[in-house]
């Protein structure tokens, strides 16, 4: 059996096949090793280096926002952040207990810290609290020996040094939301902030800058061994605004607790020097993060502090619209400055009666007197003669009824009604009575304070369709000339008549704003009062006197308006003041405008800015 030749041949074949298999496997192994160590060595060396070195993004400093003279309105300040590294903490509970005695930490804060420590690797820092004050940071530094595992990092946070002043212009920054993600790696950084409103939002990309990088060497579990390379990012660009912070502050203080808006504008360049909306809010609260209660309080406030009334508030312009009606009629030739209309206190149209604000009537009025006394009956008749379509066309020429392209988010259109608009929107034909109501700036007509200020700026310069702007290049090259705007296309003599009427409003006895005149030698202000109804007055209320504003709840009182320009002999500044539910333009808005205009003329920021430009260029 041991000498069986068949068995021997079978065993030999099996041994040979096994040997060949082993040789094949060994060859494959050698070939793979050759491929890895020789042919692909560069690739795997690169992958090894990429695993050993980690490149991380650095947030750049956000650009500043400055007023026309370089005063900082939005800056960055150091933000001290306290963190804890659990592997370095000898006793985490004792460390947290000590921290609670030094800085405000709630039980919820401590629970959050413990949860994050459990989820992360022991060497990864966990934030305890940010926005530490200098005093809190010093207390922690002094007690460092008892705070094992605690580290303090310093970053930058957005800060608005003027707090509520100019908040609606500046806006605010807040944490990145899901809808903000655009693929920009900066948006993925923890704690990164983006512009959410105002100038911060409009110029967010320029203010954001470009991120830097730093490279560190890490071990197999991701712990940093040492820093290898560091490249600073590019700080965001500064944004220069046309505002004069001195006037901004004065206007806000003059308005006080009123729910109101003020706009002051250079009639030649369009620079907006003051844009105030009250009440305001502190944008610093958004930088650090609002609580749910704080957000709810802002939203439910009856005076809407989050709304920028200067560009987003839409109001019936009231009697401030009468200049537009006058210009439309003069240009169309349906009236002349000498045409007289008698006011008996009301005007009848069919079965309807349209009342003047002065129940006994004004008597015989011409155009200048009609503006001076703000006679409603005079403008009812003028509006009837000129028609709504020509009024609407003139209103648009003076900046009403559409956005002005202002460089601030939230600007509203306003509304200038006409026949085609009503048919398209309301599916109803236009009525003659609606033309009469539009003639005194009521009914469907709406305008923003910014639009009304633009209207007055165009009346005051008399030749150019000046457009408002808020952002500008640095003061050395930021001036615009009137010839850069479209021509106004209105006869100068007609502008002169309307300006004569505005002069009489403020400077001739009997004018509706005579008591609020700017009584200063060489500095004369021309203007127009307006009182805008927010509800329909019934005939019964008109007779009984219940309609009087002081007898009504605040929200049902009329809005008070005043528009003006100065100086009369050499106009440079236009202004609008709107006091919500202020009852009377002559009593609530005109005195505010007078005081602000006095300060404007005293500081004369547009001429100072121009002088700086000229001296720099020479």
Active-site residue, selected from the candidate residues 86, 259, 319, 471: 319
Confidence of residue 339 (pLDDT cuts 50, 70, 90): very high
Query: Known catalytic residue: 609?
Result: no
3-class SS at 568?
A: coil
pLDDT at 227 (0 to 100): 55
Q: Are residues 251 and 186 both part of a single domain?
A: no
Confidence of residue 42 (pLDDT cuts 50, 70, 90): low
| 582-586 average pLDDT score | 83
pLDDT at 545 (0 to 100): 47
Confidence of residue 119 (pLDDT cuts 50, 70, 90): confident
Judge whether 583 lies within some domain.
yes
Consecutive H or E run containing 128: strand 126-132
The strand pair at 239-241 and 65-66 is best described as: parallel
Q: Are residues 206 and 260 both part of a single domain?
A: no
Closest Cα partner for 270 from 48, 529, 465? 465
3-class SS at 487?
A: strand
Contact 563, 589 (CB under 8 A): no
Cα–Cα distance, 337 to 349 (Å, whole number): 24
pLDDT at 550 (0 to 100): 67
pLDDT at 618 (0 to 100): 45
348-400 pLDDT per residue, tens? 998 899 999 898 999 999 999 999 999 999 999 999 999 999 999 999 999 99
Q: What is the CATH number of the domain that holds 313?
A: 3.40.710.10
- The DSSP bridge partners found for residue 559 are 532
Judge whether 395 lies within some domain.
yes
Q: Are residues 207 and 299 both part of a single domain?
A: no
95-111 pLDDT per residue, tens? 888 888 888 888 888 88
pLDDT at 189 (0 to 100): 65
Domain boundary residue among 223, 241, 259? 241
Domain boundary residue among 241, 273, 302? 241
Query: How many C-beta neighbours within 10 Å does residue 175 have?
Result: 14
Residue 615: φ, ψ to 5°? -70, -35
Contact 561, 320 (CB under 8 A): yes
Judge whether 30 lies within some domain.
no
For the ranges 122-136, 144-158, 336-350, 471-485, which has the lowest average pLDDT?
471-485
Task: Give the max Cα distance, the chain.
Answer: 148
418-443 pLDDT per residue, tens? 999 999 999 999 999 999 999 999 99
Cα–Cα distance, 470 to 310 (Å, whole number): 13
Q: Are residues 285 and 227 both part of a single domain?
A: no
CA-to-CA separations, 134 to 62, 74, 470, 483, in angstroms, rounded: 22, 20, 35, 53
Domain boundary residue among 184, 215, 241? 241
Judge whether 48 lies within some domain.
no
- Which residues form the domain of 577? 245-617
Number of structural domains the chain divides into = 2
Please say if the pLDDT value at position 602 is more than 90: yes
pLDDT at 81 (0 to 100): 79
Judge whether 283 lies within some domain.
yes
Judge whether 31 lies within some domain.
no
pLDDT at 222 (0 to 100): 44
Q: Are residues 250 and 192 both part of a single domain?
A: no
Q: Are residues 144 and 277 both part of a single domain?
A: no
For the ranges 256-265, 297-306, 435-444, which has the lowest average pLDDT?
297-306
């Amino acid at each position: 059996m041991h000498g069986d030749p068949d068995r021997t041949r079978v065993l030999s074949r099996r041994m040979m096949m096994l040997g060949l298999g082993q040789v094949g496997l060994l060859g494959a192994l050698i070939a793979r090793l050759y491929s890895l160590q020789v042919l692909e060595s560069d690739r795997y060396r690169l992958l090894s280096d990429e695993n050993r070195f980690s490149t991380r993004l650095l947030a750049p400093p956000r650009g500043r926002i400055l007023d026309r003279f370089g005063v900082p309105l939005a800056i960055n300040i150091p933000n001290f952040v306290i963190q804890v590294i659990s592997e370095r903490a000898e006793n985490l509970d004792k460390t947290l207990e000590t921290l609670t005695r030094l800085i405000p930490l709630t039980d919820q804060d401590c629970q959050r810290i413990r949860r994050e420590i459990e989820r992360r690797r022991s060497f990864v820092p966990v934030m305890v609290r940010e926005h530490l004050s200098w005093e809190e940071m010093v207390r922690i530094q002094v007690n460092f020996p008892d705070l094992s595992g605690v580290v303090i990092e310093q970053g930058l946070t957005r800060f608005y040094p003027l707090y509520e002043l100019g908040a609606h212009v500046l806006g605010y920054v807040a944490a990145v939301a899901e809808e903000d993600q655009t693929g920009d790696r900066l948006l993925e950084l923890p704690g990164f902030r983006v512009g959410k409103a105002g100038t911060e939002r409009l110029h967010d990309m320029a203010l954001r800058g470009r991120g830097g990088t730093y490279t560190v060497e890490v071990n197999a579990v991701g712990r940093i061994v040492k820093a290898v390379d560091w490249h600073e990012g590019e700080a965001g660009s500064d944004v220069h605004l046309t505002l004069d912070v001195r006037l901004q502050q004065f206007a806000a203080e003059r308005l006080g607790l009123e729910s109101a808006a003020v706009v002051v504008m250079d009639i030649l360049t369009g620079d907006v020097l003051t844009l105030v909306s009250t009440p305001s809010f502190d944008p610093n609260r958004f930088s650090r993060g609002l609580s749910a209660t704080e957000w709810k309080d802002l939203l439910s406030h009856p005076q809407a502090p989050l709304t920028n009334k200067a560009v987003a508030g839409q109001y019936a312009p009231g009697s401030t619209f009468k200049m537009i009606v006058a210009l439309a009629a003069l240009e169309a030739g349906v009236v002349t400055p000498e045409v007289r209309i008698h006011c008996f206190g009301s005007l009848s149209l069919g079965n309807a009666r349209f009342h003047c604000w002065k129940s006994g009537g004004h008597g015989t009025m011409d155009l200048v007197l009609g503006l001076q006394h703000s006679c409603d009956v005079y403008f009812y008749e003028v509006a009837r003669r000129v028609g709504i379509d020509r009024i609407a066309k003139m209103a648009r020429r003076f900046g009403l009824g559409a956005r002005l392209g202002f460089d601030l988010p939230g600007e509203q259109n306003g509304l200038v009604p006409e026949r085609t608009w009503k048919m398209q929107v309301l599916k109803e034909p236009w009525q003659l009575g609606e033309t009469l109501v539009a003639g005194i700036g009521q009914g469907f007509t709406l305008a923003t304070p910014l639009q009304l200020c633009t209207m007055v700026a165009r009346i005051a310069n008399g030749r150019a369709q000046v457009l408002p702007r808020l952002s500008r290049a640095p003061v050395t090259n930021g001036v615009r000339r009137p010839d850069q705007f479209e021509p106004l296309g209105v006869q100068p003599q007609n502008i002169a008549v309307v300006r004569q009427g505005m002069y009489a409003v403020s400077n001739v006895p009997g004018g509706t704003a005579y008591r609020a005149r700017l009584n200063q030698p060489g500095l004369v202000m021309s203007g127009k009062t307006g009182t805008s109804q927010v509800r329909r007055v019934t005939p019964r209320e008109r007779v009984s006197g219940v309609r009087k504003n002081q007898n009504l709840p605040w929200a049902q009182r009329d809005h008070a308006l005043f528009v003006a320009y100065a100086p009369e002999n050499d106009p440079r500044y236009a202004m609008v003041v709107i006091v919500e539910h202020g009852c009377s333009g002559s009593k609530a808005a005109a005195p505010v405008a007078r005081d602000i205009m006095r300060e404007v003329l005293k500081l004369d920021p547009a001429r100072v800015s121009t002088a700086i430009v000229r001296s720099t260029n020479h």
